Amino acid sequence: MGFSVSGATVVLFLGIVISFGIAHAAVNNGVEAVNDAYQDSTDKELSRQNTGITIGSAVANTASDTLNVSVENTGSSTLSITDTDILINGTYTSHDSMETLEVDGNDTTGLWLPGETLYFVYDYGSDSDFTNAPTRVKVVTDSGVSAAAEVEEVS
């Protein structure tokens, strides 16, 4: 009887050890994946809280049929120009169709630092969608923080 009991105990013990190994690996990987995801989402939320933009001016010049907009980065985080979206009259307008797109006079940079002003010019005269000057403009940053303004007309 002695051998049977110890033999059976060894086999059961091995089973438990192997199971624990499998469970530990799975739980560890799972917790790590979820933790990383929460960390990323907290980081995103933090940068969103630190983001702020204000439209300084939105002017449509009816003499040259251009829309001139300046937007200031009033937050404390650095924004990406590539991920900044521009909506003119609610329609997504790509950066390539802008006549000018620059940050404090620099049109080669991809960064929009705190305190700097993004300036863009859109030639709506060459766009057949516009018979009149645009009335609204909206700018959205990479984290989803946005600013919208009515366009003022000057001739």
Partner 1 sequence: MASVSSSHLILFIASLLIAASVAGTFTQGVQRLSSALGDRSLDVAKDVRTDIEIISDPGSVDAIYDDSGEGSLTVLVKNTGSLNLDADSGQIDVLVDGRLQTDVTVEVADGDTWMVGNVARLTITKSLEPGDHRVTVIVNGDEETLRFRIQ
In contact, 78 and 125? CB cutoff 8 Å: no
Among 99, 126, 144, 152, binds partner 1 (CB under 8 A): 144
Site for partner 1 in 24-83 (CB under 8 A): 25-27, 29-31, 33-34, 36-38, 40-41, 44, 48, 80, 82-83
Q: How far is the CB of 136 from partner 1 (least distance, A)?
A: 5
109 in contact with partner 1 (CB under 8 A) = no
CA–CA gap between residue 132 and residue 135 (Å, rounded) = 9
Does position 8 bind partner 1 by CB under 8 A? yes
Token duo for residue 154: 């000057």
CA distances from 139 to 34, 53, 82, 131 (A): 32, 9, 12, 22
Residue keyed to tokens 């006549």: 99
Told to check if 140 binds partner 1 by CB under 8 A, we report yes
Task: Point out which residues pair with 58 in neighbouring strands.
Answer: 69
Please state, in angstroms and rounded to a whole number, the distance separating the CA atoms of residues 137 and 151.
7
* Shortest Å distance, C-beta 87 to partner 1: 5
> Residue 106 has what DSSP assignment?
B
Query: What whole-number distance in Å separates Cα of residue 52 and Cα of residue 139?
Result: 11
CB of 132 to partner 1, least distance (A): 12
Q: Which residues bind partner 1 (CB under 8 A)?
A: 1, 3-5, 7-9, 11-12, 14-16, 18-20, 22-23, 25-27, 29-31, 33-34, 36-38, 40-41, 44, 48, 80, 82-83, 85, 87, 89-92, 94, 135-136, 138, 140, 142-144, 146, 148
